[in-house]
């Protein structure tokens, strides 16, 4: 592929690299404005309580306090992501629903005064019994988190494709397993932060958001303002992983405080508050039943899940749909049933976290599939190769898959990892596991304003052709999208990456783009950037045609050189043509737009989880287990991915490495834990244990390239898909190492140790 391309397919340096490594890059929390105030939010100390009264008078009297606000000072319009489930208020009105629920906010001359002021706000609560165990939330007699949602059911999904019961009846072997997922948190390195400023009736918010256009939309909606009166700018962003997609109390309260005080207000969450705000991975209870034939071919599957939604909907409806919708992507079977209940609990709301709904169901299904393989005495690689999805197929829930390199990924992973050798010559305490994954390359159904094109971009060429600027509403949250979008615009133009500049993540200066979620930017924002570049190229070729006296369709432009396709000697520098164009025809300006094709079936919720293209990937993990302590050492990881055409190999592999860091953490260490009053026990980076650089195992990341017809030059996603196999792959490796299965995440040393102890006590051999 990339031999034909001059800019894409190459590991060009990040466009933001120097600024970031020299510390010059400024993040939202680094911004300072004259006269700026600091704001903090008062949160609930109770998991569930009625608010009897709020007395802010003592706080208001404290010198240095410029404003104190409660629900009385803000619109009482509920908000949320799914319009059918708007259940959140800027500040609680009658009840608090989790420890951390927003009650009031202050704006003060400095941070210290903020904390003192918060302590002076007197809230009288009537403490209510709380729902803390999501698997009991639907039981009779449980308190209701929201009175209007009986049995605490936030969302219920029941989908059936084909005839699963019949498939099970006809199956050689039917097995059911149940697994429990963990509540995880994204833990981005940069805390959530927002600075709000008013200029007359117009609001500007600098926000650490993955989608400035989306934040703009929600701020405008909540405050009843025209969108054009709200400007949202995302400076450099230090990681989001799904947790910075939603509008937070920081943006809402900050805007109100700035309005009341007439001064800029900077709001931020400290690390503990970030954990309380949460919106991380849902814990899920997952029952999976599969029927297979003698060879292990899957005939049908049933997924029956319950999700712990926490106190609010957040992105959870989408998460619930994703959990089921993406499950049939990696393996081919015709009969599929999906049942899901997302329940409310008096815990922080869960939302989207890298891989969104997919990683835990994949963990469950991949673990389950190994159990099935073990039942039948089939090698885990073989059962996956047997069932692996092929290109140009349709899932039972009507998702169209164009390209799919899953089989090649399996074969390559098998070879690279030495799978067969390691299976043949087992070492004590060692185990090897495999799992597959697949993910969307952008959602066919966007999070809001579903009629809009999904991405737009402009390209302007400097008047002497020595630079070009890409204007995109896409947001680089650390993944490198600014870099690859510039690569794609440059490739489209026939230009050099090194001369690209970018304006991004600003609702005022860039055209609309939904932002960084659902791994959409490479395919969607990338197609818009490519098209904007191509529109410039058409103008360049047309100008060059006049300069060379050759027809435009005999000309092309690559990497800054315009050339005749028929007469090899005839060339012009891009810069020369661009300058002539500016002089004779005005500025070179290109425009690109992307709208996905119509996707999905006709059943309820059919569009949720659809994508123009799906990535596929395989991970093999090898572990060594210390039988005395349960300690798991990751000996090696092999990742082989089909993400279509790779735009920037270095960034591609960076995504794989990052996803593995998160996925391994979620597999073995990470879990947000609560006490019996709903308070987080480990809301800090000492006790919520992430992988650090020193914890990283050796990783081998490899590519199986397909050329996706729906993607720009064949590209698909990589950002989230590589998270999906990880938990399953380590679950299977640990199972392989010790011969018993731990059925809940994280696969902690303690659980492993206990499982080994039980196994020994039961007298079983490995």
| CB closer to a copy of itself out of 453 and 697 | 453
Which is nearer to a copy of itself, 466 or 744 (by Cβ)? 466
User: Is 642 in contact with 155 (CB distance < 8 Å)?
Assistant: no
Closer CB to a copy of itself, residue 226 or residue 763?
226
Of 10, 462, 538, 751, the one binding a copy of itself (CB under 8 A) is 462
Q: Minimum distance between the CB of residue 246 and a copy of itself, rounded to whole angstroms? A: 20
Is 456 a binding residue for a copy of itself by CB under 8 A? The answer is yes
Determine if 375 is a binding residue for a copy of itself (CB under 8 A). Answer: no
- Look up residue 627 and give its two tokens: 């039988």
Q: What are phi and psi of 285, to 5 degrees?
A: -100, 125
463 is an interface residue for a copy of itself by CB under 8 A: yes
Residue span binding a copy of itself (CB under 8 A) among the ranges 103-111, 192-200, 562-570, 623-631: 192-200
How far, in Å, are 290, 317, 337, 340 from residue 168 at the CA level? 7, 29, 11, 20
Q: Of these, 35, 57, 176, 692, which contacts a copy of itself (CB under 8 A)?
A: 35
Find out whether 527 and 472 touch, Cβ atoms under 8 Å. Answer: no
Binding residue for a copy of itself, selected from 111, 229, 534, 624, defined by CB under 8 A: 229
When the beta carbons of 180 and 452 are compared against a copy of itself, the nearer one is 452
Least Å distance, CB 227 to a copy of itself, is 5
Nearer to a copy of itself, 63 or 200 (CB): 200
Q: How far is the CB of 552 from a copy of itself (least distance, A)?
A: 20
Residue of 174, 415, 416, 503 that binds a copy of itself (CB under 8 A): 503
**b/e per residue 726-748 (b: at least 16 CB within 10 A):** bbbbbbbbbbbbbebbbbbbbbb
SS3 52: strand
Judge contact between 540 and 494, C-beta under 8 A.
yes
123 binds a copy of itself (CB under 8 A): no
Q: Taking CB under 8 A as the rule, does residue 591 contact a copy of itself?
A: yes
740 binds a copy of itself (CB under 8 A): no
Q: Give, as ranges, the residues between 504 and 543 that touch a copy of itself (CB under 8 A).
A: 507-509, 511-512
Longest Cα separation, the chain: 87
Using CB under 8 A, count the residues that bind a copy of itself. Answer: 52
- 24 contacts a copy of itself (rule: CB under 8 A): yes
C-beta separation of 36 from 117 below 8 A: no
> Which window, 18-26, 408-416, 427-435, 733-741, contacts a copy of itself (CB under 8 A)?
18-26
Q: Is residue 583 within the footprint of a copy of itself (CB under 8 A)?
A: yes
Alpha-carbon gap, residue 679 to 540, rounded angstroms: 62
Closer by beta carbon to a copy of itself, 589 or else 740: 589
Separation of alpha carbons 517 and 210, rounded Å: 7
- CA 70/CA 194 separation, integer angstroms: 19
* Dihedral over alpha carbons 116, 121, 124, 129 (to 10 degrees): -60
Gyration radius of the chain over CA positions = 27
User: What's the closest the beta carbon of residue 499 comes to a copy of itself, in angstroms?
Assistant: 5
The verdict on 428 binding a copy of itself (CB under 8 A) reads no
Residue 363: closest CA among 403, 330, 316: 330
Provide the minimum distance between the beta carbon of 475 and a copy of itself in the complex, in angstroms, as a whole number.
Answer: 16
Nearer to a copy of itself, 24 or 681 (CB): 24
First-last CA distance in the chain:
47
In this chain, which stretch among 317-325, 429-437, 452-460, 671-679 interacts with a copy of itself, using CB under 8 A? 452-460
Least distance from a copy of itself to the Cβ atom of residue 589, Å: 5
Distance between CA 55 and CA 388 in Å, rounded?
62
Q: What is the DSSP string of 315-356?
A: THHHHHHHHHHTGGGSB--SEEEEEEEEEE-SSPPP---TTT
- Sheet containing 632-642, strands listed edge to edge, beginning at the edge strand earlier in sequence: 430-440, 614-625, 632-642, 699-703
Least gap, CB of 398 to a copy of itself (angstroms): 25
Residue 601: Cβ within 10 Å count: 18
Dihedral sign from CA coordinates of 693, 747, 384, 157: negative
Told to check if 547 binds a copy of itself by CB under 8 A, we report no
Residue 171 to residue 450: CA distance in whole angstroms: 41
Structure tokens at 93: 């009105």
Q: Which of 582, 690, 695, 739 binds a copy of itself (CB under 8 A)?
A: 582
Stretch that binds a copy of itself, among 31-39, 284-292, 420-428, 539-547 (CB under 8 A): 31-39
Piece in contact with a copy of itself (CB under 8 A), picked from 239-247, 359-367, 459-467, 738-746: 459-467
* Among 147, 294, 451, 628, interactor with a copy of itself by CB under 8 A: 451
Contact between 573 and a copy of itself (CB under 8 A)?
no
Tokens of 591: 């425009």
Choose the binding region for a copy of itself from 134-142, 276-284, 583-591, 749-757 (rule: CB under 8 A): 583-591
Residue 221 binds a copy of itself, judged by CB under 8 A: no
In our burial notation (b when 16+ CB lie closer than 10 A, e otherwise), range 124-135 reads: ebeebebbbebe
Q: Cis (ω within 30 of 0) for the bond into 210? A: no
Q: How far is the CB of 271 from a copy of itself (least distance, A)?
A: 22
Q: Which is nearer to a copy of itself, 80 or 264 (CB)?
A: 264
Q: Does 189 bind a copy of itself (CB under 8 A)?
A: no
Compare residues 34 and 568 and give the one whose CB is closer to a copy of itself: 34
Site for a copy of itself in 46-105 (CB under 8 A): none
> C-beta of 462: minimal distance to a copy of itself in Å?
5
Site membership for a copy of itself, residue 139 (CB under 8 A): no
Q: Residue 303: which residues within 8 A CB-CB, separation 6 or more?
A: 286, 287, 288, 323, 324, 327, 336, 337, 338, 339, 340, 361, 364, 365
436 touches a copy of itself by CB under 8 A: no
- Choice from 199, 294, 628, 676 touching a copy of itself (CB under 8 A): 199
**Binding of a copy of itself at residue 264 (CB under 8 A)?**
yes
Distance CA 500, CA 460 (A): 10
**Can you give 386-416 as a three-state secondary structure string?**
HHECCCCEECCCCCEECCCCHHHHHHHHHHH
Stretch that binds a copy of itself, among 30-38, 80-88, 305-313, 681-689 (CB under 8 A): 30-38
In whole angstroms, the minimum distance from the beta carbon of 528 to a copy of itself comes to: 9
Cβ atoms of 419 and 385 within 8 Å: the answer is: no
Q: CB-wise, 111 or 463, nearer to a copy of itself?
A: 463
Binding residue for a copy of itself, selected from 143, 587, 709, 764, defined by CB under 8 A: 587
* Of 231, 224, 183, residue with least CA distance to 209: 231
Residue with smaller CB distance to a copy of itself, 272 or 546? 546
* Chain residues in the site for a copy of itself (CB under 8 A): 18-19, 22-24, 26, 30, 32-35, 197, 199-200, 226-229, 231, 262, 264, 451-453, 456, 458, 460, 462-469, 471, 499, 501, 503, 507-509, 511-512, 575, 582-583, 586-587, 589, 591, 593
């Amino acid at each position: 592929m990339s031999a034909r391309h001059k800019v894409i397919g190459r590991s060009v340096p990040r466009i933001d690299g120097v600024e970031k490594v020299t510390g010059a890059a400024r993040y939202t929390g680094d911004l300072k404005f004259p006269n700026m105030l600091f704001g903090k939010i008062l949160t609930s100390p109770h998991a569930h309580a009625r608010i009897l009264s709020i007395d802010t008078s003592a706080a208001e009297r404290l010198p240095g306090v410029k404003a104190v606000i409660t629900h009385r000072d803000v619109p009482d319009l509920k908000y949320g992501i799914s319009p059918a489930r708007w259940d959140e208020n800027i500040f609680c009105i009658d009840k608090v629903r989790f420890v951390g629920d927003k009650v009031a906010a202050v704006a003060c001359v400095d941070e210290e005064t903020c904390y003192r002021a918060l302590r002076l706000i007197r809230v009288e609560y009537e403490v209510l019994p709380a729902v803390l165990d999501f698997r009991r939330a639907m039981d009779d007699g449980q308190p209701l988190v929201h009175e209007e949602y009986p049995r605490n059911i936030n969302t219920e999904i029941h989908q059936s494709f084909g005839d699963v019961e019949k498939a099970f009846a006809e199956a050689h072997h039917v097995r059911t397993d149940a697994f429990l997922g963990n509540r995880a948190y994204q833990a981005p390195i940069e805390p959530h932060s927002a600075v709000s400023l008013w200029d007359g009736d117009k609001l500007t918010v600098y926000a650490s958001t993955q989608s400035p256009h989306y934040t703009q939309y929600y701020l405008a909606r909540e405050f009843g303002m025209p969108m054009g009166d709200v400007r949202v700018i995302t400076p450099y962003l230090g990681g989001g992983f799904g947790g910075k997609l939603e509008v937070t109390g920081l943006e809402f309260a900050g805007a109100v405080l700035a309005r009341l005080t007439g001064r800029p207000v900077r709001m931020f969450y400290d690390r503990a508050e970030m954990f309380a705000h949460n919106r991380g991975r849902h814990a899920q209870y997952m029952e999976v039943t599969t029927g297979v034939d003698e060879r292990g071919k899957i005939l049908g599957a049933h997924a029956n899940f319950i999700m712990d939604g926490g106190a609010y909907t957040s992105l959870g409806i989408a998460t619930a749909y994703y959990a089921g919708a993406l499950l049939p992507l990696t393996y081919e079977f015709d009969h599929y049933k999906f049942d899901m209940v997302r329940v409310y609990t008096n815990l922080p709301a869960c939302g989207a976290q890298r891989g969104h709904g997919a990683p835990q169901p994949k963990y469950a299904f991949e673990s389950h599939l190994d159990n099935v393989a073990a039942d039948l005495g089939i090698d885990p690689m073989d059962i996956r190769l047997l069932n692996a999805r092929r290109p140009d197929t349709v899932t039972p829930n009507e998702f169209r898959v164009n390209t799919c390199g899953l089989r090649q990924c399996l074969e390559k992973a098998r070879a690279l990892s030495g799978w067969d050798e390691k299976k043949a010559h087992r070492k004590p305490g060692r185990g090897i596991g495999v799992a597959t994954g697949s993910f969307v390359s952008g959602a066919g159904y966007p999070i809001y304003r579903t009629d809009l094109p999904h991405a737009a971009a402009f390209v302007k060429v400097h008047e002497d052709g020595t630079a070009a600027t890409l204007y995109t509403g896409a947001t680089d949250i650390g993944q490198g999208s600014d870099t690859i979008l510039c690569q794609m615009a440059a490739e489209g133009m026939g230009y050099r990456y090194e001369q690209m500049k970018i304006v991004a993540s600003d609702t005022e200066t860039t055209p609309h783009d939904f932002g960084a979620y659902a791994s959409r930017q490479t395919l969607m924002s990338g197609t818009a950037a490519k098209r904007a570049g191509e529109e410039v190229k058409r103008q360049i070729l047309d100008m060059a045609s006049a300069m060379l006296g050759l027809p435009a369709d005999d000309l092309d432009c690559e990497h800054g050189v315009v050339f005749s396709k028929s007469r090899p000697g005839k060339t012009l520098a891009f810069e020369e043509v661009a300058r002539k164009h500016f002089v004779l025809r005005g500025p070179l300006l290109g425009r690109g737009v992307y709208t996905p094709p119509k996707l999905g079936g006709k059943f309820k919720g059919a569009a949720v989880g659809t994508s123009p293209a799906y990535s596929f990937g395989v991970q093999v993990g090898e572990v060594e287990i210390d039988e005395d302590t349960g300690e798991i050492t990751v000996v090696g990881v092999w990742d082989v991915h089909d993400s279509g055409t790779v735009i920037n190999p270095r960034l591609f592999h960076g995504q794989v490495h990052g996803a593995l860091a998160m996925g391994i953490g979620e597999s073995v260490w990470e879990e947000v834990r609560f006490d019996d009053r709903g308070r987080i026990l480990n809301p800090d980076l000492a006790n919520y244990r992430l992988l650090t650089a020193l914890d990283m195992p050796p990783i081998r990341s490899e590519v199986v390239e397909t050329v996706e017809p729906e993607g720009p030059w064949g590209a698909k996603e990589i950002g989230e898909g590589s998270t999906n196999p990880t938990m399953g792959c380590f679950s299977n490796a640990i199972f392989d190492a010790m011969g018993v299965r731990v059925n809940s995440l994280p696969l902690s040393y303690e659980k492993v140790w206990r499982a080994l102890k039980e196994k020994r006590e039961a007298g079983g051999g490995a």
